[in-house]
Structure 1
Amino acid sequence: MTVLNEPATLLNGSAWTSHVFLGEWTPGSGGDYAVVEPATGKELARLGSATPGDVGRATARAVDAQRAWAAAGYQERAAVLRRAGALWEEHAAEIEEWIVREAGSVPPKAALEVRTAAQECYEAAALASHPVGEVLRSEQPRLSYSQRVPAGVVGVIAPFNFPLILAIRSVAPALALGNAVVLKPDPRTAVCGGVAIARIFEAAGLPAGLLSVLPGGADAGEALITDPAVRIIAFTGSTRAGRAVARLAGEHLKRVHLELGGNSALIVMADVDVARAASAGAFGSFTHQGQICMATGRHLVDRRIADDYVAALAERANRLPVGDPSGGQVALGPIIDVRQRDNVHRLVTASVDAGARLAAGGTYEDLFYRPTVLADVPLEAPAYAEEVFGPVAPVVAFDTADEAVALAADSEYGLSLGILSGDGLKALELAGRIPSGAVHINDQTVSDEAVIPFGGTGLSGNGSRMGGIAHNLEAYTETRWVTAQSELPEYPY
């Protein structure tokens, strides 16, 4: 392992401007494009744009590099991951600034991303030395065991909303387990979600060719999925895009891990503190402008407290400051782009037209959308029935616990569930009747950690899990059966 002299800054742009990363910085075959700050519209940098040809070159290098990496001792892989974890911490301020400006994140959210990236690398370092098999019984007089082996080349396609976390959670464990990785970050956030990762692993001493970072269009993504050298695809994004990825991966017999959309429910029982419940609900719906797959998309509230809950939620929405996160103390930054903002507003206005009452928000200036509360929402209203991916909190009242369960379960998604109740055990019983990949009793729906298995059901994913020792082993390795015996047996042929 060769550790580079640690640069004073990782992201000063001198190495990577107008380039892609193929183990070394090289111009993208698709030319370059502007990285734009959503809060101001300013050009922050220029990046190279990858083509299918760049994908082919990356995977060819990855195949050769991966063989030596898989054969290296686990200590070598663990050391690279530990060094990467330390580098995230050492360069946190610089990377956080990029997350604020490029992704429109408020500083605490940016700090969370960098802190989690470091933790993902430390957890992956421990994964490198974890036992990778088990001894099996056999009817014959022989040694029989299973063995976890690297899959080979892993393709990672990551989104814009949490660009660092949602890339590194696949990149780090895949590398630790002896794989090579080709990462396609969202072009809108490809510095903090791609360049930063490449620069960290360069400085940590990762051998060249094991990691490529290729921002590009749909054609680059399709090339990554169909490339014969790529054995596993880890995709995080919308359900619509996930369907297309799944179809293409299935045609090419690829394993695919899909982490998709959500429309998560927060059930609020009558015996809660309404003010604290509204605070939790506001966090679940408005954090990062609601651009989170786990965001609270449906507030299901006991009718006895529904009016008070709506009033408390609207009061919080009205006083939350919205603006440029790099320029002052704000709670919400910009929506990522005009297309997404317009879709949020379309869902809000269509829901009001359908009969919902606008209790707060519903307006915007440039890409800054006010946190919005919708009351008396019909079940067919688009902002309730669909994933909004914006700072919108639709509230629906229920009369009985059974009705709350039925409403929460009546969704094609199944990513996260929150239940706020004075009786935690009763809440657990209710949760057992609602399909969901995650359940949070007496908390809102947005939560994640490097050590937990993460995934959803229904339209939220294909049931695979990423995170934690056991699930990352399952996600990024293949299982081999091995037998050995001391003598060659005689056969009746």
Structure 2
Amino acid sequence: MDLSSYHFLDAKRWSGRLWLGGWQSPTAGTAAVREPATGAELALIGVATPADVAVAVARAKAAQPAWAGLDHRTRMKLLLKAAAVLESHGDELVEWIVRENGAIRPKAQVEVAETVALFRQAAGMLTEAHGAVLPSRAGRLSYGQRVPHGVVGVISPFNFPMILGARAVAPALATGNTVVLKPDPRTPVTGGVLMARALDEAGFPTDVFHMLPGGAEVGQALVEHPDTRLIAFTGSTAAGRAIGETCGRLLKRMSLELGGKSPLIVLEDADLELAASNAAFGAYFHQGQVCMASGRILVQEQVAQPFAKLLAERARHLPVGNPATENVALGPIISEAQRNRIHEIVQDTVAEGAVLAAGGTYEGLFYRPTVLSGVKRGMRAYRDEVFGPVASIIPFGSDDEAIAIANDTDYGLSGAVISPDIGRALALGERINSGLLHINDQTIADEVANPFGGRGASGNGGNIGGPANWDLFTQWRWITIESRPTRKPY
């Protein structure tokens, strides 16, 4: 479908601009937004600079007290209006996600629906308790109050640009913070423009939200600015480490949601057809470009060979192509550099002794779903996050060996166990070092109501989402009140 037939994201409104107190022409020029499936130019976006970050943060800081001081029902109404705006333009947003992100349509539809839910959940936060009454002596009121940090910097990735921006933007705004968002430069429309359009159309006050597309230098300026008091970052572990070092030095809060090498354990008593179905989804959904992807599929050695055959058959029959024009299961990889990295990992792992059971080839940015069997410790596909459609099958003997392999990584995001023996599966799962755990499911799962966060190289454990949002986006202030001063012993 021709994107020019839509009006909510009509490029005439924002082409070559950025959202800084309104649509502004950038000083650094523009960049093309390209469709990964075809290479075609979809639009132009304004490119921000560190100087723009300084302006945005200053304006957001100035606007924050009035925003936090608004009646909670007013903020709630605005958040619900933003949700309604996004929902009413859902078909258009889906089309943009398909084209800009290379996503299949069902993935895009889920992303829109979950983003709408995120804004509604954020609105619901404002009906919850904002603190707690604490014990104290007679005649004295003592309570803890949740107060906003001030300005929150959000840096979002390309793979789920709409959800992974909104999951920080919406609760940050709900809790009285103002926000400066830097979307990934490869997906600035679905990661940023649509957010600016929705909040503007919903009637949010000027300077409560700014959106600055740009490269690493813009993100660095946002992290280093002394007036951003919380940084919510989703992206690579390498970038997360650098951000963590800076935030630590500047004594500011951070939420780091990073990479993963999540284990999916298939026990010998599992239904292999169902297990292969789950493994295929966990490895190939959105071309494997998911931090929670089933990066290592651990299969009990008695059933490893028939399981590998089933998974390879599925991989060979999954259609790959342009999701905007074809009914496919996998779309394109986001960039040539990422495709090359995926292929290098596959080739290196085969050279190290693994068996290429399916895939391992590509045309353009379309990489075939791949199965590597007999993967062992030390091989690249065993240790490196691939971020591509590659299923690495690792055989194991005992339950203890499965856990040793599962935990043989610096990452700790998600984990899953498949077995009809729930007690055994849960006992195994509870020994996996991960922030997320799923029994009789694969490793990719997220819902609006759950806390989300990883361990080790997968993040700093600063969970985001659901009940964790109050903890992340506010801090405690202790307050006491007495009817009159009491005499002190001085």
Fold similarity call, TM over 0.5: yes
Q: Give yes or no for the alignment of 1:446 onto 2:473.
A: no
**Alignment deviations for residues 32-65 of structure 1 (CA, whole Å, 9 cap, x no partner):** 1000110000110000000011111111111121
Structure 2 unaligned residues grouped into runs of 5+:
none
**Alignment deviations for residues 164-194 of structure 1 (CA, whole Å, 9 cap, x no partner):** 0100000000011111000000010010110
1:27 to 25, 28, 31: 25
Q: Is the Cα–Cα contact under 8 Å of residues 9 and 91 in structure 1 kept in the other structure? A: no
Q: Distance in 1 between matches of 2:431 and 2:109?
A: 36
Q: Distance in 2 between matches of 1:141 and 1:90?
A: 53
Equivalent residue number for residue 243 of structure 1: 241
Deviation, 1:492, is 3.2
Q: Is the Cα–Cα contact under 8 Å of residues 155 and 233 in structure 1 kept in the other structure? A: yes
Deviation, 1:229, is 1.5
Equivalent residue number for residue 59 of structure 2: 61
Q: Distance in 1 between matches of 2:173 and 2:235?
A: 22
Equivalent residue number for residue 81 of structure 1: 79
Q: Give yes or no for the alignment of 1:485 onto 2:458.
A: no
Q: Give yes or no for the alignment of 1:391 onto 2:392.
A: no
Q: Is the Cα–Cα contact under 8 Å of residues 354 and 378 in structure 1 kept in the other structure? A: no
Equivalent residue number for residue 424 of structure 1: 422
Q: Distance in 1 between matches of 2:256 and 2:137?
A: 38
Q: Distance in 2 between matches of 1:8 and 1:389?
A: 32
Name the aligned partner's letter for residue 370 of structure 2. T
Q: Distance in 1 between matches of 2:48 and 2:278?
A: 41
Q: Distance in 1 between matches of 2:351 and 2:234?
A: 32
What secondary structure, in the 3-state scheme, does the structure 2 residue paired with 1:147 have? strand
What secondary structure, in the 3-state scheme, does the structure 2 residue paired with 1:108 have? helix
Deviation, 1:129, is 2.3
CA root-mean-square deviation: 1.1
1:290 to 288, 291, 298: 288
Q: Distance in 2 between matches of 1:299 and 1:8?
A: 42
Name the aligned partner's letter for residue 220 of structure 2. E
Deviation, 1:140, is 6.5
Name the aligned partner's letter for residue 67 of structure 2. W
Equivalent residue number for residue 471 of structure 2: 474
Equivalent residue number for residue 403 of structure 2: 405
Q: Distance in 2 between matches of 1:25 and 1:31?
A: 14
Q: Distance in 2 between matches of 1:202 and 1:408?
A: 46
Equivalent residue number for residue 190 of structure 1: 188
2:126 to 116, 125, 128: 128
Q: Distance in 1 between matches of 2:479 and 2:455?
A: 34
Deviation, 1:8, is 7.3
Q: Is the Cα–Cα contact under 8 Å of residues 435 and 453 in structure 2 kept in the other structure? A: yes
Q: Is the Cα–Cα contact under 8 Å of residues 382 and 392 in structure 2 kept in the other structure? A: yes
TM-score by length of 1: 0.97
The answer to which of 376-385 and 112-121 deviates more is 376-385
Equivalent residue number for residue 304 of structure 2: 306
| Pairing 1:70-469 to 2, within 5 Å after superposition | 70-139=68-137, 141-468=139-466
Deviation, 1:23, is 2.5
Q: Is the Cα–Cα contact under 8 Å of residues 29 and 53 in structure 1 kept in the other structure? A: no
> Deviating runs (4+, > 3 A) in structure 1?
none
Q: Distance in 1 between matches of 2:312 and 2:462?
A: 37
Equivalent residue number for residue 38 of structure 2: 40
Q: Distance in 2 between matches of 1:235 and 1:66?
A: 21
Deviation, 1:9, is 2.2
Deviation, 1:111, is 0.4
Structure 1 unaligned residues grouped into runs of 5+:
1-6
% identity of equivalent residues: 52
Name the aligned partner's letter for residue 355 of structure 1. G
Q: Distance in 1 between matches of 2:164 and 2:253?
A: 18
What secondary structure, in the 3-state scheme, does the structure 1 residue paired with 2:475 have? strand
